[in-house]
Amino acid sequence: MSKPGPYCRQIGRWLKGRELSTAALTGTDVRALEAFVHLVSLWPFDRFNAEMGMRFALLAMQQKCWPLAKACIPMVLDWSDEDRLWDELRKEIIAEPIYGACPVCMAPGHDAIILPGGEKVCPLQVRA
């Protein structure tokens, strides 16, 4: 019996099995979705950093493609985790990233996001 490939190689087959179309995905969306799925596999071991990474992956995708990311959660975890993890991710995400110089560290070349309550998060300053 052969070992299944990495999760990112199974996304198309998984979504097709759930009767979901991937037609709306751009090249950037595909890469962000692949990253999202790999971060889901990290979640049982490091929830904080995995959730932060998943939020950034979602922000790299078109918002209309977010349901595809949600649908991939049980591919990696359990069916019961789909709604629970998705609700956790949606608590602290805003779909309006800030562009230009990062307002947290003031360095150019990367973006920051604003969490509910106004907290600004720099992707280069994550909790270890």
Distance of CA 80 to the CA centre of its chain: 18
pLDDT band at 127 (very low <50, low <70, confident <90, very high): very low
Beta strands in the chain (DSSP E): 113-114, 120-121
Domain for residue 1, yes or no? no
Domain for residue 2, yes or no? no
Number of domains the chain is built from? 2
Average pLDDT rounded to a whole number, residues 35-47: 93
pTM equals 0.70
pLDDT of 110 over the 90 cut:
no
pLDDT of 94 over the 70 cut:
no
Mean pLDDT value across the chain: 80
Instruction: For residues 117 and 75, state if they share a domain.
Output: no
Tokens of 82: 């789909």
Helix/strand/coil percentages in the chain, nearest 5: 50, 5, 45
Range of the domain at 72: 7-92
Domain for residue 20, yes or no? yes
Give which of 43, 44, 45 is closest to 55, Cα–Cα: 43
Better-predicted residue by pLDDT, 98 or 23: 23
Domain for residue 28, yes or no? yes
Instruction: For residues 66 and 42, state if they share a domain.
Output: yes
Instruction: For residues 77 and 17, state if they share a domain.
Output: yes
Would you state the pLDDT for residue 6?
Answer: 78
